[in-house]
Amino acid sequence: MSNSKREIQFQKAAVDRIVEALHGKGSRRFLLADEVGLGKTIIAAEVVAKLFNHRRTEKKGSGPFKIVYLCSSGLVSSQNAERLIAPIKAQSKKADKSQLKRLTLYANEAKNDSKLDAVVYGFTPGTSMTIGGRTGTMDERKLLLYLLGRTRGWHEVEQGVGENSLLARWIGEQNGSRKHYQKC
Amino acid sequence: MLKSQFDRQIESRYLKAWQSCYRNAKVELHPTPKHKGAKVDLSKSICASVDEFANPKAAYRENIKKNCNAIIGKLRETLAIASLEFINPDLIVLDEFQNSNTF
């Protein structure tokens, strides 16, 4: 038997075992810890496709199949998330066409996403969780300003967006976007 | 503009989940005239930092900048946590977690 055929059999066995574990009544957790190059991402993509099909059969019309993809590296994340959802895209015309959605923006996009068959929300702790110099995307900052306004009052948020303020720096003065927030 | 845009999109359940994260969040700040340099409530730290950032004292400029970033980082963290609690995913995939000390 050729190496490639052996690999396909071994991957198929792994997929079946994982789907059985995740779809059963047990812990619903599975650790796949193969050596580099044995196709962990291929196995994961097949698992995603099978679970998607199970869900589509069992819970028709109950919103999109939602995957949260957590990865330590932004680069690996964007490459692998696309591969994860590829088998679903092949089956469903409504699966999200964008590469990967930011988990932090879920609330902003939930209503639009509800029309889709499947969505991958990516989350990279290195860029999303680290307390440091990273100040996020413009959409994240807009959403946070809105949430702060609803929580602390719009007057306070408008003050915070004034000249030389904390939020003005955060919004990013380089592109003149501060004007956008001055009238919340 | 911001309000009308998001009022249509953000569900009240999400707003409540975020508010809960926000009110319970603590942030570690560097010493400045208004902060002792300890873990403080995120909600309380924002007011003081807004004032401080507007009129920074030269000796504390660097710490004020670091605090500003820490607060913003923490706010983004509240977004991520609220989303994770709210999203109810069908599948969670953890990849390359051996390279991260945050997971």
Inter-chain residue contact A72 with B28, CB threshold 8 Å:
no
Cα atoms found within 13 Å of the Cα of residue A158, Cβ hemisphere only: 9
By C-alpha distance, the chain B residue nearest A56 is B90
The confidence band for A154, taking pLDDT boundaries of 50, 70 and 90, is confident
DSSP A129: T
What does chain A come to in residues?
184
The confidence band for A166, taking pLDDT boundaries of 50, 70 and 90, is low
Instruction: Provide mean pLDDT across the span A9-27.
Output: 87
What is residue A174's predicted lDDT score, i.e. its pLDDT? 38
Task: Report the C-alpha gap between A181 and A183 in whole angstroms.
Answer: 5
Q: How is chain A split among helix, strand and coil, in percent rounded to 5?
A: 60, 10, 35
CB atoms within 10 A of CB B22: 23
Q: What is the pLDDT of residues A23-35, one digit of tens each?
A: 877 778 889 998 8
- pLDDT of A164 higher than 50: no
**ipTM entry:** 0.85
Instruction: Provide mean pLDDT across the span B23-49.
Output: 85
Q: What is the pLDDT of residues A137-151, one digit of tens each?
A: 777 877 888 888 888
By C-alpha distance, the chain A residue nearest B73 is A131
- pLDDT of A182 higher than 50: no
Q: How far is CA A69 from CA A19, A76, A102, in A?
A: 17, 11, 10
Inter-chain residue contact B1 with A71, CB threshold 8 Å:
no
Nearest residue, CB atoms, A149 vs list B3, B84, B91: B3
CB atoms within 10 A of CB B12: 8
**This model's pTM is above 0.90:** no
Residues of A in contact with B24 (CB under 8 A): none
Task: Report the C-alpha gap between B40 and B53 in whole angstroms.
Answer: 17
What is residue B96's predicted lDDT score, i.e. its pLDDT? 81
Find which of B11-20, B31-40, B76-85 is predicted with most confidence, using mean pLDDT. Answer: B11-20
What is residue A180's predicted lDDT score, i.e. its pLDDT? 40
What is residue A43's predicted lDDT score, i.e. its pLDDT? 92
Amino acid at A144: L
Q: Which residues, including other chains, have CB under 8 Å from residue A73's CB and lie 6 or more apart?
A: A124, A126, B96, B99
CB atoms within 10 A of CB A86: 13
Of A125-134, A142-151, B38-47, B75-84, where does mean pLDDT reach its minimum?
A125-134
**Residue A42: which of A13, A71, A83, A102 has the closest Cα?**
A83
Q: What whole-number percentage of chain A has pLDDT above 90?
A: 11
Instruction: Provide mean pLDDT across the span B66-87.
Output: 84
Inter-chain residue contact B18 with A107, CB threshold 8 Å:
yes
| CB proximity B41 to A under 8 Å | no
Mean pLDDT of chain B: 83
Task: State the smallest CA–CA distance between residue A152 and chain B in angstroms.
Answer: 9
Instruction: Provide mean pLDDT across the span B89-101.
Output: 82
Instruction: Provide mean pLDDT across the span A97-125.
Output: 80
| CB proximity B85 to A under 8 Å | no
Task: Report the C-alpha gap between A68 and A15 in whole angstroms.
Answer: 19
Instruction: Provide mean pLDDT across the span B84-90.
Output: 86
Nearest residue, CB atoms, B93 vs list A84, A104, A170: A84
Q: Which residues, including other chains, have CB under 8 Å from residue A28's CB and lie 6 or more apart?
A: A21, A22
